[in-house]
Amino acid sequence: MNAIYILWLRQLKRYFRSRSRIIGSLGQPILFLVALGFGLGPVFAKAGQGNYLEFIAPGIVSMSILFTAVFSGIEIIWDRQFGFLKETLVAPVPRWQIMVGRTLGGATVATLQGIIVLLLSLAFGFRVETFTLIPQMLIFMILIALLFTALGTAIASILEDMQGFQLIMNFLVMPFFFLSGALFPLNGVPKALQIVASVDPLSYGVDGLRGAITNVFHFGLSIDLTVLTLTTLVLIGIGTYLFSKIQI
């Protein structure tokens, strides 16, 4: 278990050493909060849907976690190309511990990123009704981070070049985000879009985060937790298997 802790700590050190990475990853969430939160706010209010910034903030927090978590898988390709991964894999440690340690580290970084975006949202006018909801929000943030870190690790385990990883991520990450209901309510959308959203795991994370704040769920609290937990366990299992098959 020491290997899991060491790899987890290594991921955190990488994150805090790269100040430019922290600042750069905040650009897109801030743009969405300002451009969409305030730009579309009057239209959203006229439609009788309330404050759009209050609606969109949980989606932007989820987006930040999603991107940070998935792209943490790039580090596997980077380490493979420069030989660092080989040094890790030849260590007398089960590979599942290496994968779990990297996943926990990436998920922790993604969760921290989500917390930073949440604090920025508060600065822009987003409000949490009661701080007793914070633990529930953190649970969903951690589940989203674990799920998509495991997904990124699984995909990076079968790819060898950075270009291929970015191509696949663009075909997965953007649909995950835009079809999750992060930017628009899922109530009243066409049936086909509702079906697509129901198979998007991020939809349950966004719904859980938003429900933790407003106490209004689209799917339901128990469904959100169940789907996220089961999907996370499945992806961790798949990621562990694929990571164990990496050739050095």
Summarised one tens digit per residue, pLDDT across range 112-134 is 889 988 888 888 777 776 666 77
Q: Tell me: the pLDDT tens digits for 6-50? A: 776 776 676 666 666 667 677 788 888 887 777 777 776 666 566
Residue pointed to by tokens 């209901």: 181
Q: What is the model's pTM?
A: 0.89
pLDDT of residue 81: 73
Q: Tell me: the pLDDT tens digits for 146-175? A: 999 999 888 888 877 777 777 777 788 888
Provide the CA 62 distance to its chain's centre, in angstroms: 6
